[in-house]
């Protein structure tokens, strides 16, 4: 199991990376952490003619915790973001999800933006970006920079709106609103495996401490992260008396699980209900 030969490009700045990507076009692939890409190369499920290694583009190794959200550069590793108290203070859901991403050693190398671009429908970070209404910034020689909201970025299983020649330079995770809480729950066969199903939840209370927003994004039960707004089903009530069971049923109705060798569609639908109720209750209890 060795990768097929490829032409290697090691740009030292963003301009060089974009030029190399523009020249390579559809034959080019970006290497950041490589924790999803290199297995595909080793197994020869992918064999790009050009590999553009952005590991020397240090200007992309940024992590900014701002009042309005967390801006994660393309070279920020999972482990760095997971351990950042500043990022967790602005948006705790990112670290809650990162603890479920593979294993600590993989997270030392893997990147947050890489996980988004990989767009695995069973992965945690695309769901986080989706439930929060975040965005990905894409850059290319041809189009310059453009920001795509999560809802437009994830287009199918392992597919994103990233075009040939484009580089995802950063992702923006909006800050936790006031009086809000988050949670992420999933079921995987082994800790660190891709989940059979998972649910992340965002709950916000209004001035009277009634539920004013309850939203989830589900992984493993659709072609892309499945976002379901359950504010109506939960009811405008205090978190303790909101109808989280009805909310969970609404989530089950909003997903499209499929059967595979790991689980039946019915089991996944069951899991999503259980996990949604658990995540919504925990998010509601954690509102601050």
Site for another protein, rule CB under 8 A: 1-8, 10, 31, 34-35, 38-39, 41-43, 51, 53, 55, 79, 102-106, 108-109, 191-192
Closer CB to another protein, 149 or 192, in the complex: 192
Which is it for strands 63-66 and 50-53: parallel, antiparallel or unpaired?
unpaired
| Nearest C-alpha neighbor of 231 from the set 283, 267, 186, 189 | 283
Closer CB to another protein, 106 or 213, in the complex: 106
Closer CB to another protein, 55 or 212, in the complex: 55
Closer CB to another protein, 5 or 67, in the complex: 5
DSSP 29-81: EEESS-TTHHHHHHTTS---SEEEE-TT-GGG--EEEETTEEEEETT-BHHHH
Minimum separation from the CB atom of position 54 to another protein (A) = 10
Minimum separation from the CB atom of position 51 to another protein (A) = 7
Minimum separation from the CB atom of position 1 to another protein (A) = 4
Minimum separation from the CB atom of position 77 to another protein (A) = 9
Cα torsion 114, 117, 123, 128 to 10°: value is 90
Structure tokens at 102: 């593979």
Question: Which residues are bridge partners to 28 per DSSP?
Answer: 50
């Amino acid at each position: 199991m060795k990768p097929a030969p490829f032409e290697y490009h090691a740009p030292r700045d963003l301009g060089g990376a974009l030029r190399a990507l523009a020249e390579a076009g559809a034959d080019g692939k970006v290497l950041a952490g490589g924790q999803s890409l290199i297995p595909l190369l080793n197994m020869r499920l992918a064999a790009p003619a050009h590999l553009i290694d952005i590991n020397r583009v240090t200007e992309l190794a940024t992590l900014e915790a701002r009042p309005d959200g967390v801006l994660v550069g393309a070279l920020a590793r999972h482990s760095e973001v997971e351990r950042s108290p500043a990022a967790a203070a602005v948006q705790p859901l990112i670290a809650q999800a990162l603890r479920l991403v593979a294993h600590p050693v993989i997270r030392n190398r893997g990147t947050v933006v890489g996980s988004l671009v990989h767009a695995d429908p069973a992965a945690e970070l695309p769901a986080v970006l989706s439930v929060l209404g975040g965005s990905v910034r894409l850059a290319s020689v041809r189009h310059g920079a453009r920001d795509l909201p999560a809802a437009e970025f994830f287009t199918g299983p392992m597919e994103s709106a990233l075009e040939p020649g484009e580089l995802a330079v950063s992702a923006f995770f909006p800050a936790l609103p006031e009086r809000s809480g988050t949670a992420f729950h999933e079921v995987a066969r082994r800790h660190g495996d891709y989940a059979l199903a998972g649910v992340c939840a965002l709950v916000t209370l209004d001035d009277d401490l009634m539920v004013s927003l309850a939203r989830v994004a589900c992984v493993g039960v659709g072609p892309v992260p499945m976002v379901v707004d359950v504010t109506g089903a939960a009811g405008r009530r205090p978190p303790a008396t909101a109808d989280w069971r009805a909310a969970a049923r609404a989530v089950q109705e909003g997903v499209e699980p499929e059967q595979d060798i790991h689980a039946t569609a019915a089991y996944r639908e069951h899991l999503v209900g259980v996990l949604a109720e658990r995540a919504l209750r925990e998010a509601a209890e954690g509102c601050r």
